[in-house]
Amino acid sequence: MKIYLDTCAIQRPVDNKTQFRIILESEAVLGVLSLLENEKIEIVSSDVLLFETQQNPNETRREYALEVLSKASGIIQLNSKIKKRAEQFSSQGIKPLDALHLASAEIGQVDYFCTCDDKLLRKAKSLSDVFIKVVSPNELILEIEK
């Protein structure tokens, strides 16, 4: 099972745990990473994830994300096919960087695209032409457990 964790999902375990939702999502992401360590699943990185991670001014968060991404089974290289697909997603109301993440995951043929971004989650789920399953961390855990 191949999973694409977007930047906000990767970062969830280092977020300030002031809300119950953040605590639950953090534990869900840590559970996914535990399954990764036990080779039950694989995560996939991308040029887009690496770019966004490198832009993070917080050294601790940046290093944490890079450590997670270093465990990826592969890196989806940004190419014209991804850019074209991202343009399609953008024209349907998805922010450009989010569209690049979603397009990378789709072109990379992952099974699940995981995000904590409610707006992205809602919008991506409403699109009829997305060819991967878009889930929150909590939904991902339920999917893995099936």
Q: What is the CATH number of the domain that holds 19?
A: 3.40.50.1010
Residue 87: its pLDDT value, please?
98
39 versus 80: the higher-pLDDT residue is 80
Question: E strands of 61-105, at which residues?
Answer: 75-76
Q: Has residue 146 got a pLDDT over 90?
A: no
Q: What pTM did the predictor assign?
A: 0.95
Q: Has residue 145 got a pLDDT over 90?
A: no
What would the pLDDT profile of 40-90 be if each residue is shown by its tens digit?
Answer: 899 999 999 999 999 999 999 999 999 999 999 999 999 999 999 999 999
Yes or no: say if 91 and 71 are a contact pair by the CB < 8 Å rule: no
Residue 12: its pLDDT value, please?
98
Q: CA–CA separation, 129 vs 127, rounded Å?
A: 6
User: Considering its fold, how many domains does the chain have in total?
Assistant: 1
CB atoms within 10 A of CB 30: 13
What would the pLDDT profile of 14-23 be if each residue is shown by its tens digit?
Answer: 999 999 999 9
Residue 85: its pLDDT value, please?
98
140 Rama sector, left if φ>0, alpha if ψ -120 to 50, beta otherwise: alpha
Residue 79: its pLDDT value, please?
98
Encoding tokens for residue 5? 């964790």
- The secondary structure of residue 76, as a DSSP letter, is E
What would the pLDDT profile of 91-120 be if each residue is shown by its tens digit?
Answer: 999 999 999 999 999 999 999 999 999 999
Residue 66: helix, strand or coil by DSSP?
Answer: helix
Domain limits for position 59: 2-145
